[in-house]
Amino acid sequence: MTTKSLILDGAQVADTIKAQLTKRIEQLADKGVIPCLATVIVGDDPASETYVRMKGNACKRIGIVSRRIQLAKDTTTTQLLDVIQQLNNDPLVHGILLQHPVPSHIDERAAFDTISIDKDVDGVTTLGFAQTAFGIGAFPSCTPAAIVAILDAYNISIEGKHAVVIGRSPILGKPVSLMLLNRNATVTICHSKTQHLDQIVKSADIVVAAVGRPKFVQGDWIKPGAVVMDAGYNKGNIGDVDYDACLRHASAITPVPAGVGPVTIAMLLKHTVDAAERTRIL
């Protein structure tokens, strides 16, 4: 690229979303409602601890109550389902987040699917995923929602573009693919068994990296002028794309940190406020 790439400033997009939420939180307070996000964490995984603390702090800064439920690592599936059911029945709780991963002896899918659809603010339930697929859901997964929100904030058109998504996890790769498809992109989903990945990526107008491998996407895979969305977050604040190399080819790119990450948290806050508002309408 001869022209300079646009750095998609996730921190700024997140600030704009949070500024819009402040007014809505005040209006809810006038009606006696304080949005509340309950986070359930099972065991003592240090990375999960950090994520939960970051989300809790973000809630507090904006006036959302953050309720943390810490469970021992030997908690059974039945005990976890009971805790989630209690939160479903608690009218003071508007959103429920079960921190992933849970210990391997727990049936994680059963736990996710116990979350009430009205409180599934991270789109983790089977029903929430299906609603995202149909384009009717209230709460798509937060990272996919963040990726689309950044594209929209910068008026980057999706319709008719070839989007290549690398990764097919239920929380990221698959839902973002469906969201882009619903916005009339032509979507190719790649995974660990994909052949000729570099050639496929080279045909993309929009590349979404959701691989979980640091600096995985190489600069010479990027078609000149493509838009690169890096959802990756690896140890040492490193994304899933080789940022400096991709920057040379992309027309626009998200950095790590301060790209998709802060907007993901802003979407979680937004979904919690949305859920609280819906309790006033229902």
> Which residues contact ligand NAP by CB under 6 A?
143, 166-169, 171-173, 190-194, 197, 210-213, 231-234, 240, 260-261, 264
Nearer to ligand NAP, 28 or 52 (CB): 52
Nearer to ligand NAP, 35 or 261 (CB): 261
Q: To the nearest whole angstrom, how small is the minimum distance from the Cβ of residue 279 to ligand NAP?
A: 26
Q: To the nearest whole angstrom, how small is the minimum distance from the Cβ of residue 267 to ligand NAP?
A: 9
Nearer to ligand NAP, 93 or 265 (CB): 265
Q: Summarize the annotated binding site as residue ranges.
A: 167-169
Which amino acid is residue 209, in one-letter code?
Answer: A
**99 carries an active-site annotation:** yes
Question: What is the distance between the alpha carbons of residues 170 and 164, in angstroms, rounded to a whole number?
Answer: 16
- Residue whose beta carbon is closest to ligand NAP: 169
Listed residue (39, 48, 55) closest to 98, CA to CA = 39
Q: To the nearest whole angstrom, how small is the minimum distance from the Cβ of residue 262 to ligand NAP?
A: 9
Nearer to ligand NAP, 28 or 231 (CB): 231
Cis geometry, peptide bond prior to residue 257 (ω within 30 degrees of 0) = yes
Q: Summarize the annotated binding site for NADP(+) as residue ranges.
A: 167-169
Given 18, 55, 161, 270, which residue is catalytic?
55
- Max Cα distance, the chain (Å): 59
Query: DSSP string of 115-171?
Result: S-GGG-TT--SHHHHHHHHHT--S---HHHHHHHHHHHHTT---TT-EEEEE---TT
Q: To the nearest whole angstrom, how small is the minimum distance from the Cβ of residue 255 to ligand NAP?
A: 12
Q: To the nearest whole angstrom, how small is the minimum distance from the Cβ of residue 235 to ligand NAP?
A: 9
Q: Name the percent of the chain in helix, strand, coil, to the closest 5.
A: 45, 15, 40
Given 9, 18, 119, 122, which residue is catalytic?
122
Given 18, 99, 205, 240, which residue is catalytic?
99
Question: What is the distance between the alpha carbons of residues 140 and 35, in angstroms, rounded to a whole number?
Answer: 18
Nearer to ligand NAP, 208 or 250 (CB): 208
Task: Provide the β-strand partners of residue 188.
Answer: 164
Q: In what order do the strands lie in the sheet with 186-190?
A: 6-7, 252-253, 227-230, 206-209, 162-166, 186-190
- Tokens representing 194 are 């994909």
Q: Catalytic site residues?
A: 55, 99, 122
